[in-house]
Each structure stands twice: as structure tokens, then as C-alpha cells.
Amino acid sequence: MSVPKLTESVNLKEFLKNASAEIERATFEVLPTREPNKYLYSIQNDYPLRGGKRFRPALLILCAEWFGASYKDALPSAVALELFHNFALIHDDIEDSSLFRRGKKTLHYLHGIPLAINAGDSLFGMVYEILLTNRERFGDQKVLEIISSFNQVCRATFEGQAYDIGWVANNHFPTRAEYFEMIRRKTGVYSGKGPCQLGALIANVSPDILEKVGDFGETLGIGFQIRDDLLNLEDDAGESKEYGKEKGGDIREGKRTLITIHLMENLDPTDKGKLKSILLKPAEETSETDVQWVIEKANRLGSFNSVNNECMDWTKRAKTILNFFPNNDTKNILIELIDYLMVRRIS
């Protein structure tokens, strides 16, 4: 009996709803509830239970079905990617001193840093437990290929994160080239290339197709990150359920984004010095007035328009790469996904 395709005769909204439901069901099946529940499993399960868009594992499933694999064959790897994402969020929140995640207090705020770190580490360990269950489906060789590909995602993510937090720790203000190298590793791979290639790998595509799919995914991930930078400062972004983080959080955390790079390039020396002083402040010392000053300057100097135009360029690149592939239901969903992640995420 054949398994119905999640991508068959649906639009993006329906696909994401169906894929998220399958990912959620499969994730809840593997989340432990045994002892020590109070000090470990109830904490590590918190972020997965808060929901989220789950677009990364959904993208993995999408690309697996695109090239003929069953979503059920892709589901364990999708769950592993979702757990890796939640592990990364826990550690990222600690590293950035973030206060909120998905509309609620962060784990380290609720339980303290040591327990939060341990919960994140536990999630990371589960990633490989789940990936190894693929042996029954694909055999040892294919599992090694999947794990190797997954490790490349992990390494690129950690390298990108090292730049991101290292710049803050060392008071460094990156060039555009440095910024794009950071997001290529951190988001281009983690949120695009990795999920796309993992899905295609499960479907046994040829090396040239795997590379082309990776190019598409990396372009999608980079555009997604640029849009994310915009959403963090745009009006009402912090109130959006689609966005899920506090408005201006990037400024409070001293993040180096394409918006702050544009400001550094266009502010007069006095205002450039003020911007640097704001970005160098500890998060708890950065006031709402500081955040509003940055937003006002970004509006006045056209930073939002400039970064939006950059995002549109990456949108065009992603669609151009898709032209390489034949038209079908899955490709139509991917076109919708480009517009959703890179153009109109708040709607």
C-alpha cells in the first residue's frame, strides 16, 4: 500500500499544517518522560512542546518527496532536525541572554543556566539516537551518509554562531563580506542547505542534483536570515505570532546585522559612535530609548529599504535556481515557501 504524499494537491499552508502535525506527533513519541523528569526531561521537552513553525524539518520532508521518497522515510531525520533546532535555541538563548522564546520566558530564565545547558545537551544526544533508527530503513551505509550530512549542518551552525557571538564578545563590527560569511554558515546551511540536502539524500538523488538542491537551500536560508533581521526591528514585528521574538531584541543583544552594517556605512561620525556604544552595552542596560533611536535612524537613512532590496535579490536568486527543476506540485510549494520566508512572513 502506497503512502500518500503530503505535497500532493495542496498549497504551502496546507502542506506546512500537515507536515507540522506529523513532525509534532513523531517528536512527542520520542520525548522521554521518565526520571529525572523534574530536573531534565520536563525542561528539555519545554521548547518542543511550545510549537513553532517547524519549517526546517518540513523543508527536509518537502525535498524528500520532491525526488520520490516517502515522507515516512524522511520523518525520523526531520524529527532529529527539529530536536537539534530546539537544542540550538536553548544554547542560543543563553549565549544571547534572551528573555523570551515563542512568547514565554526562556529556559535559563525559568530554571537557571546549568539545568538549561544540560537539557540542551540531552536534546543533542537524542538527535543521534533518532538518526540511528534509520538503519532499519536504509542500512548502515545510507545511515552513515545521513549522519555525515547532519554533522556538516552542525559544524557550519557552530562556526556561524562563533562569528556571531565572537563579534559581540570582542567588540568587532563586521564588514558586509564578513556578515554574509557568517549567515552563509549559520543560517544558509542550518535553515536551508542542510534540510534540503538531507531530504534529497534520503531520496537517493545524483551528486549533481544534490549540489543544485544545496545551492537553492543556501540561497533560501540567507534570504530568510536577512528577512529575520528586518522583522526584529520593523513595526509590530515583535507582536507577530509568526515572528515570536521581542521587537528590538537584536539591538539589546548587540547583534551585528545587515541593518547595523548599513547604518555604520551611512551615519555621521558622532552618530556612528553612539550606535557602537548602544551595541556594546549589556542587554539589561540597553533601554527602549536606545532601541527606538536605532529604529529611527534606520528609517531616516533608508536602512530598511536597502536591506529589503537585498532580500528581494536573494528571493530572485532562489527562484532562478528553481527554474533548473521541472514543474510539479512540490516545486509550486517551494515557490510559495520562498515568498513566505523571504517576502511576506508577517501577514
Per-residue pLDDT of 219-266, as tens digits, reads: 999 999 999 999 988 754 444 444 445 678 889 888 899 999 999 999
Residue 7 has pLDDT above 70, yes or no: yes
User: Taking CA 248 as the corner, what is the angle to CA 106 and CA 223, rounded to the nearest 5 degrees?
Assistant: 95
User: Taking CA 194 as the corner, what is the angle to CA 18 and CA 104, rounded to the nearest 5 degrees?
Assistant: 60
Say what the pLDDT of residue 236 is.
Answer: 47
Helix axes 194-202 and 71-96, enclosed angle (nearest 10) = 160
Say what the pLDDT of residue 249 is.
Answer: 84
Residue 9 has pLDDT above 90, yes or no: no
Asked if 294 and 254 touch (Cβ cutoff 8 Å), the reply is no
pLDDT band at 344 (very low <50, low <70, confident <90, very high): low
Query: What value does the mean pLDDT take over residues 3-29?
Result: 91
User: Helical H runs in the chain?
Assistant: 12-30, 42-44, 46-49, 55-66, 71-96, 107-111, 113-132, 135-138, 140-169, 176-183, 194-202, 207-231, 249-252, 258-266, 269-280, 288-300, 303-322, 329-342
Beta bridge partners of 101: 104
Query: What value does the mean pLDDT take over residues 34-58?
Result: 94
Query: What are the structural domains, with CATH classification, of the chain?
Result: 12-342 (1.10.600.10)
Greater model confidence, 5 or 188: 188
Query: What value does the mean pLDDT take over residues 59-87?
Result: 96
Say what the pLDDT of residue 98 is.
Answer: 84
Query: What value does the mean pLDDT take over residues 163-182?
Result: 94
Interior/surface letters 277-286, b for 16+ CB within 10 angstroms, e for the rest:
ebbeeeeeeb
CA dihedral 276, 278, 282, 287 (to 10 degrees): 180
Greater model confidence, 329 or 206: 206
Residue 347 has pLDDT above 50, yes or no: no
Query: What value does the mean pLDDT take over residues 265-271?
Result: 97
pLDDT band at 326 (very low <50, low <70, confident <90, very high): confident
Q: Work out the percent of the chain whose per-residue pLDDT is above 90.
A: 82
Considering only CA atoms, give the Rg of the chain: 20
pLDDT, one tens digit per residue, over 274-288 is 999 999 998 889 999
